């Protein structure tokens, strides 16, 4: 089970990095959201995989789930929603100011070899 979760976490992180390296604003915002989700999943998985375990320490057992990663993930989810909203508002403002959704505000110039000359 741990291997499957590690592979899934790595896949989400790789997709997020790929989207962050794109030149357009929407894929960058989507990549940031995916990266935040991957970080939340990583923090959550560090709290041990204990199905059916009590969330607090009981005196009669030593098997428990750590509640601190759960609290950290809940806080990070709220911060992630705020960050995503800000990035999307910034992308809309950049699009209206520059007329382009490219990350640096300029459309890439096509290569001279790609343009058909009459």
| Per-residue pLDDT, 14 | 96
For residue 118, being part of any structural domain is answered with no
* CA–CA separation, 19 and 98 (whole Å): 22
pLDDT of residue 96: 87
On whether residue 18 sits in a domain, the answer given is yes
Report the pLDDT value the prediction gives residue 64, as an integer from 0 to 100: 64
Dig out the tokens for 95 from the structure. 């699009």
User: Do residues 80 and 40 touch, judged by C-beta distance below 8 A?
Assistant: yes
In a domain, 88, yes or no: yes
Per the listing, tokens 């100011």 go with 97
- pLDDT in the model for residue 55: 62
Whichever domain contains 87, its CATH number is: 1.10.287
Output the pLDDT for position 45: 80
Range 9-36 burial, b when 16+ CB lie within 10 A, else e: beebbeebeebbeeeebebbbbbbbbbb
Range of the domain at 84: 2-50+65-98
Q: Is residue 22 part of a domain?
A: yes
| Neighbouring residues of 7: CB distance < 8 A, sequence distance ≥ 6 | none
Please list the ranges in the chain whose pLDDT falls under 70: 48-66, 104-106, 108-118
Tell me how many domains the chain contains.
1
Residue 75 lies in a domain: yes
């Amino acid at each position: 089970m741990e291997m499957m979760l590690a592979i899934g976490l790595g896949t989400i992180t790789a997709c997020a990095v790929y989207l962050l390296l794109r030149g357009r604003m929407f894929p960058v915002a989507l990549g940031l959201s995916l990266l935040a989700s991957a970080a939340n999943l990583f923090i959550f998985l560090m709290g041990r995989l204990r199905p059916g375990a009590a969330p607090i320490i009981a005196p009669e057992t030593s098997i428990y789930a750590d509640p601190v990663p759960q609290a950290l993930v809940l806080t990070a989810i709220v911060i992630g929603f705020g960050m995503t909203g800000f990035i999307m508002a910034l992308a809309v403002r950049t699009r209206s100011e520059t007329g382009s959704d490219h990350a640096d505000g300029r459309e890439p110039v096509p290569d001279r070899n790609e343009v058909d000359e009459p």
